[in-house]
């Protein structure tokens, strides 16, 4: 595979440094959007984290400081990965996939639930690791690799291999239980499957399998059934996180009650992670939240627009999967906060507190930037393409 990703890319400028080439070829608009989301995440950490620190007997800015470290590490990782060659990106993605898949498989024996009823984390003493966060972008790259390989005349059945892998991962995640992440993996694979040229009847069959799996989970999992019943109920229990979040959003109105003036962060245990949107809506208002939504929409649409120019199947599939992953995760987080979706426990990329989430988002965005950046034309490749 050549390093030429886009038709019409400019030749490399004579005498330019690697840093200059990177800056010239990277999608600076997307990079700016990520920087804006990261900065807004720091602002929201300042708003949401001090009450949690007070409850745990820690310094006022304990979690803010940790969030700053995570945010800097995530953004730095995005920059680093965005400089990778496509060969290096595939290797890193596959190795991360194998490692994170093994980590998820070992969770029932080595993991912990931190008192939340779902074994999703490894306790490292000084921090925790949620391998499912790392698995998502790594799965996209590994799946894109095998699915692209299936387009060669003697290639493997890549779509089938990736589909079985997605099903196995979803099953392991459902056992934690983490149905939200399981459904996200299936949705990402479905999007990649569609872009790879899947038959509509096959997609309908896949949808039927997903519906059947959901029905089975509803019957056999009290955790899953409880989430669905709570979502479908006509009223919301006023003592639940969802009720607190919805009340905070209504209280914030169009412009919010003001920075540090909100109250929901004192009652919501996950105000700094899964329900960060509630804090944003209460203190800064609807317009602020719409700005966040706009940034995610811009990131996804910008990436998909640039991918239209891509002819390489690996780049097209991996880029689509990463864009869908970021967009869907943001959509789920927003949707849960306003009761558009059942509660799922999913962080907001680049904004929510959490080391695993921030590093995974940084890796995903770095890979997406590497995939969508323009590259110097290879004259030999151009000649071959015209023959």
Contact (CB, 8 A) for 321 and 314: no
Are the C-beta atoms of residues 326 and 296 closer than 8 Å to each other? yes
Give the model confidence (pLDDT) of 186-199 as tens digits: 999 999 999 988 77
pLDDT at 270: 80
Residue 116 lies in a domain: yes
How would residue 202 be classed by pLDDT, with cut points 50, 70 and 90? Answer: confident
CB-based contact 47:259 (threshold 8 Å): yes
pLDDT by residue (tens digit) across 129-151? 999 999 999 999 999 999 998 88
The per-residue pLDDT for 371 is: 95
Q: Cβ(295)–Cβ(35) under 8 Å?
A: no
Rg, C-alpha atoms of the chain: 21
Residue 358 maps to a domain: yes
Look at residue 105 and tell me whether its pLDDT is greater than 80. Answer: yes
- Looking at residues 45-59, what average pLDDT do you find? 91
Residue 385 in any domain: the answer is: no
Q: For 155-159, 165-169, 225-229, 313-317, which range has the lowest pLDDT when averaged over its residues?
A: 225-229
291 class by beta-carbon count within 10 Å (0-12 exposed, 13-18 middle, 19+ buried): middle
Instruction: Give the C-alpha separation, 365 to 77, whole Å.
Output: 9
Residue 126: inside a domain: yes
Q: Average pLDDT, whole number, for the chain?
A: 87
Residue with the larger pLDDT of the pair 256 and 214: 256
User: Is position 10 within any domain?
Assistant: no
Q: Residue 121 corresponds to which tokens in the numbers above?
A: 């984390």
Alpha-carbon distances, residue 144 vs 151, 160, 241 (angstroms): 11, 12, 37
Tell me, yes or no, whether 281 lies in a domain.
yes
Residue 1: predicted pLDDT: 42
What is the per-residue pLDDT across 327-356, written as a single tens digit (0 to 9) for each? 999 999 999 988 888 877 789 999 999 999
Distance CA 256, CA 290 (A): 13
Kindly report, residue by residue over 236-279, the tens digit of the pLDDT: 777 778 888 888 999 999 999 998 888 888 888 888 888 999 99
Residue 282 placed within a domain: yes
Domain assignment present for residue 134? The answer is yes
The 8-class DSSP code of residue 266 comes to: G
In this model, does residue 27 exceed pLDDT 50? yes
Using CA atoms, how far apart are residues 45 and 72, in angstroms rounded to an integer? Answer: 14
Higher-pLDDT residue of 241 and 79 is 79
Residue 11 reports pLDDT greater than 80: no
Q: Choose between 233 and 250: higher pLDDT.
A: 250
- 379 vs 284, higher pLDDT: 284
Nearest partner of 97 among 144, 138, 129, 143, judged by Cα: 138
Range of the domain at 85: 26-377
> Residue 130's closest CA among 333, 355, 364?
355
70-84, 225-239, 309-323, 347-361: segment of lowest average pLDDT? 225-239
Q: Is the pLDDT of residue 313 over 50?
A: yes
Q: Which pLDDT value is given to residue 338?
A: 87
Report the number of distinct structural domains present in the chain.
1
């Amino acid at each position: 595979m050549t390093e030429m990703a886009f038709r019409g890319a400019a030749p490399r400028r004579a005498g330019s440094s690697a840093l200059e080439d990177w800056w010239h070829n990277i999608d600076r608009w997307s990079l700016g959007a990520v920087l804006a989301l990261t900065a807004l995440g720091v602002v929201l950490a300042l708003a949401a984290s001090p009450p949690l620190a007070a409850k745990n007997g820690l310094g006022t800015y304990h979690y803010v400081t940790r969030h700053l470290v995570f945010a800097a590490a995530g953004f730095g990782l995005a920059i680093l990965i965005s400089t990778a060659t496509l060969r290096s990106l595939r290797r890193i993605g596959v190795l991360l996939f194998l490692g994170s898949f093994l980590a998820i498989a070992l969770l029932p024996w080595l993991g912990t639930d931190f008192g939340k009823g779902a074994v999703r984390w490894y306790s490292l003493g000084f921090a925790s690791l949620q391998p499912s966060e790392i698995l998502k972008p790594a799965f996209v790259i590994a799946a894109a690799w095998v699915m692209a390989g299936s387009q060669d005349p003697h290639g493997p059945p890549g779509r089938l291999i990736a589909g079985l892998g997605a099903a196995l991962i979803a099953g392991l995640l459902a056992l934690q239980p983490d149905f939200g992440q399981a459904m996200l993996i299936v949705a990402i694979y479905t999007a990649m499957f569609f872009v790879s040229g899947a038959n509509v009847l096959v997609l309908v069959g896949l949808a039927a399998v997903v519906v059947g799996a959901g029905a089975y989970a509803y019957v056999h999992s009290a955790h899953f059934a409880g989430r669905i019943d709570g979502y479908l109920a006509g009223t919301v229990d006023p003592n639940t996180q969802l009720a607190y979040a919805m009340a905070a959003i209504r209280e914030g109105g169009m412009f919010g009650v003001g920075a540090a003036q909100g109250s929901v962060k004192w009652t919501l245990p996950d105000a700094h992670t899964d329900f960060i949107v509630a804090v944003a809506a209460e203190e800064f208002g609807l317009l602020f939240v719409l700005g966040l939504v706009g940034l995610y929409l811009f990131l996804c649409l910008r990436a998909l627009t640039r991918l239209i120019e891509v002819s390489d199947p690996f780049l097209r599939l991996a880029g689509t999967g990463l864009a869908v992953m970021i967009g869907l995760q943001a959509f789920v987080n927003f949707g849960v906060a306003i009761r558009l979706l059942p509660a799922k426990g999913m962080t907001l990329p680049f904004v929510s507190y959490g080391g695993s989430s921030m590093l995974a988002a940084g890796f995903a965005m770095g890979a997406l930037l590497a995939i969508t950046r323009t590259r110097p034309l290879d004259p030999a490749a151009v000649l071959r393409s015209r023959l």
